[in-house]
Structure 1
Amino acid sequence: METGVCLVLCTAPDEASAERVVRPLLEERLIACANLLPRARSLYWWQGQVEEASEVVLLMKTAADRVEALRQRLAQLHPYDVPELLVVPVEGGLEPYLAWVVSETRNRSA
């Protein structure tokens, strides 16, 4: 089932950085909401060696037609050279919630 909604996963180095990324995305209606999950422990390859870091996981919800604009803006806002950005199409969910996500990612006239 196509819902028109995507879950976008990202990580940030700390809560302050995560909030600096998320707030403009909300204000610009590129996402409807985000969950900031602190104290994630990340192990990953970077520049030929295994690294370890404490990070904040961002779970952002957006309309599928806003993903490209979100991708571009996130690259501008994010402190990492190569920020994580994974887009997962949502295949189902509570219809009123899905409609809310799409509605909240529309530009509002003042």
Structure 2
Amino acid sequence: MAFIHTGKLDWLCHRWQRDSVFQTFSRSTCVFVLGTVLLTLALYPVLRTLGVQLHSALTGSYVAGHHSIMLINCPTEQTAKDIGRALMEKRMVACVNILPRAATMYYWKGEIQEATEILLLLRTRSSKIQKLTEYIMSIHPYENPEILSFPVEDGSLDYMKWIDDAVPINTPVTT
């Protein structure tokens, strides 16, 4: 068991309090510093995105995950065309592929179901995925439609720029 002489400990505490950096700060300065730290933490996602985009612009490199591919199953070709056209008109996606009928087997309400479906393949900005999902859910005839998205890791920089040009950052979504 170590024994510390209280006289030396008192001297150290008094010296620390007297020399403390915090003694030179006013209360308003401390509040300002704390506020700045909290604001920085709150804005971190935005600041990180801006930093990554700036790095991408300066280096000419692609930022993985900036774009996404979505898959959506539809019951008919007409439904697929209607959903695809609605998304294109709202400029939420850059491109829609309507792939031919596919045989599908799936579990639904405890039983194996069989159907034919049409697959939509969409290209968009990753930042649009949540709005896209909500909008598709509001117009899709299925109770629980298949809506999956995958981030694009790499690809043609010219193609990725084309997606950015085709899908503006701020597109209002109305149902």
State the match for 1:100 in structure 2.
162
Structure with the bigger RCO (C-alpha within 8 Å, sep 6+) is 1
Indicate yes or no: 2:68 matched with 1:6: yes
- Partner of residue 28 from structure 1, selected from 84, 90, 110: 90
Aligned residue number for residue 40 of structure 1: 102
Residue of structure 2 aligned with 1:87, choices 149, 158, 162: 149
Root-mean-square deviation (CA, aligned residues, Å) is 1.3
* TM-score, scaled relative to structure 2: 0.59
Counterpart AA for 1:5: H
* Structure 2: stretches of 5+ with no match in the other structure: 1-62
1:3, distance to aligned residue in structure 2 (A): 4.7
Identity of aligned residues (%): 35
User: What SS is found at the alignment partner of 1:38?
Assistant: strand
Q: TM-score, normalised on structure 1?
A: 0.93
The equivalent of 2:124 in structure 1 is: 62
The structure with the greater share of residues assigned to strand is 1
Structure 2 residue corresponding to 1:49, chosen from 80, 98, 111:
111
Task: State the AA in 2 paired with 1:98.
Answer: M
User: Following the alignment from structure 1 to structure 2, what is the Cα–Cα distance between the partners of residues 51 and 101?
Assistant: 36
Measure how far apart 1:50 and its partner are. 0.4
Aligned residues: 108
Alpha-carbon contact 1:4-1:102 (below 8 Å) kept: no
Q: Which has the larger radius of gyration?
A: 2
Secondary structure at the counterpart of residue 104 of structure 2? strand
Aligned to 2:77: 15
